[in-house]
Chain A
Amino acid sequence: MSALLEVEELDISFGALSAVRGASLEVRRGETHCLVGESGCGKSVTALAVMGLLPRNSVRQARRLAFDGKDILSLDEKGLSRLRGDRMAMIFQEPMTSLNPAYTVGSQMAEVLVRHRGASKRAALDRAAELLARVRITSPGMRLGQYPHQLSGGLRQRVMIAMALMCDPELLIADEPTTALDVTVQAQILRLLADLQKDLGLAILLITHDLGVVARTAHRVSVMYAGEVVESSPVDRLFNRPMHPYTRGLLSCVPVPGKVRRDQPLGSIPGMVPHVTQGFEGCAFRQRCALARPDCSGPIGRRRPEADRVYLCQIAPEEMTVS
């Protein structure tokens, strides 16, 4: 069976700026796929491209972009809007501003079911109350009549999640859903997402820059750097044996109890993320990479060291010195 979401060779540019280059990833049914990387590496844009929500001044190209085996690249806005909110849904980084201040929680939730299923307002509100309870909001009936400004950030994000679930989507894209929230609330939201995923068999594409989140929630991970997916792997193997030098650098920046010694500085990656414009050649990480070789400025091949793993580097696994 094919993956639920297939992205192959996705390119996104804003004028001369190349935001995403040749990104490929797959989200399988019922799996949590984490997309990690630094700010500005193209994670959010990739997600928006899948949803067809890119800003007007951007250009999207791909070899293949498919949902449930069906091409969504050629769908127009109307065709795509039939899918959005129904079979694939998205929640965002900014819970404070993502709900419309002028309408009640209930009205904003209900319209999703009315739109996609032709449900009556009454039935849609019942469904909304049920889902608010599902995301562990107390007294859902009362919350339905409230406006976003009467809710805290954590509650608003729960409402967003509940709203995304109105039509029982198969795919939920969550773009840094916990970044704007308090640490304690973050943990609750992540646990909620994990539970929902298990109970509803949701596939989740979770965008984050927090490797702790990845370790706790992901089945698979794709690491992005400067617009490219540089490594894709099942989560345990990525943490045990990172392949791409960038992934290795990233993992060395994380303090692990028992492994990090107090008197030694934490790892860091020297240098800065390059500014990538169109026509860029070679590996974007080469200026910061300790293993860089002359052929890193040419075309970079994909390596598949084992089943289910891909990384984008000139250096073969056996040539990598253990750092």
Chain B
Amino acid sequence: MLQFLARRLLVALLVCLTVLTFAFALTRLAGDLAISIAGPNSTAADIEVVRKAYGLDRPLVEQFFDWVSRAMVGDFGRSYFFREKVSTLIFSRLPITLTLGLVGLGIALSVALPLGVISALREGRPIDRIISLVALLGQAMPSFWLGLVLMITFGLHLGWLPISGTGTWQHFVMPGVVLAFSAIPALMRLTRSGMIDAMSADYIRTARAKGLSRTSIVLKHAARNAAMPVVSIAAVQLGFMLGGSIVIETVFALHGVGFLAWESISKNDFPTVQAVVLLLAIIYTLLTLGADLLNAVLDPRLRAA
């Protein structure tokens, strides 16, 4: 188990280093940073001043190592646009995104898992078809549209929930639901197919021959074996929710990391872009690592590998 953990951590570290390099390279490939910082009405002399001031005249390799060594200790420099330290900026936005992602995943799992299990146990019956159809509709619905529909219905007409901002937990309900909707179909289908596989396995026949209760057969013996792909995909979905919730953050005016990423990219605020990309990469890597560890807990065979 320790060896397994060590190997996974090493891989995770390498992934982060690779992303670090790419994040740096991509921002430099996007064009001459000095020109875009100086603005459209600047003269050649202005641009030279900017280039010197931001250290952009140094060799790329030197800039890279300078950035990496600072990044290691959490110093990402100052944002060009927000006039703030990048780290402060990110950490003020992160709680919003994390809350949104966790709420979204929570809703998604609490809907997708029971539906997937019910679907599997009633395979081919009407209830299974209905659930699949609903999942299909969920997948086909664009999240900005669903977001607006919810806002109009529950925010404007019914007045049950606030439509924008981040003041209370109620603010996270609608965006969480919208976010969950995009994750539910995949999670549900994986739960369904995993449960169908597990329920037809020989060890389930053994469990039945042992006279175990239906609950124990389904929830103990089948579910644990069906859970692995669901855990992996849930981790990816959470990563996607944390990094890719730009649309939803915009619709509901939640100023989280996703929104920050979009702002900084459009403003060519490259210290912020680099830091956000790195942060998201670390989050993804940690989530995948977490999923691997959870799976190793679920399936003893993985621990040996």
Contact = CB atoms under 8 A, between A and B. Distances in A.
A94 B202 contact: yes
Nearest to A147: B300
A92 B301 contact: no
B225 A82 contact: no
Given A147-B300, A149-B300, A99 B203 contact: yes
A92 B301 CA distance: 22
B102 interface: no
B210 A115 contact: yes
Contacts of B209: 51, 53, 84-85, 89-90, 92
B92 interface: no
Contact of A85 (B205, B210, B299, B300): B210
Interface stretch (B40-48, B70-78, B211-219): B211-219
A102 interface: yes
Contact of B211 (A84, A94, A98, A103): A84
Nearest to B214: A77
B202, B203, B210, B225: most-surrounded residue (chain A CB, <10 A): B210
Nearest to A104: B300
A4 interface: no
Nearest to B224: A102
A303 interface: no
Contact of B205 (A98, A102, A116): A98
B300 A53 contact: no
A94 B210 CA distance: 16
Contacts of B301: 101, 147, 149
A149 B302 CA distance: 11
A81 interface: yes
A31 interface: no
Interface string B285-305: 000000000000011110010
Interface in B175-216: 201-203, 205-214, 216
Interface in A70-108: 77, 80-86, 89-90, 92, 94, 97-103
A125 interface: no
B85 interface: no
B201, B206, B221: most-surrounded residue (chain A CB, <10 A): B206
B221 to A, nearest CB: 5
A310 interface: no
Contact of B208 (A53, A97, A101, A116): A53
A129 interface: no
Contacts of B208: 53, 81, 84
A243 interface: no
Which 8 pairs show the lowest CB-CB distances between chains A and B?
A: A85-B211, A84-B211, A85-B210, A97-B202, A100-B203, A147-B300, A81-B211, A90-B209
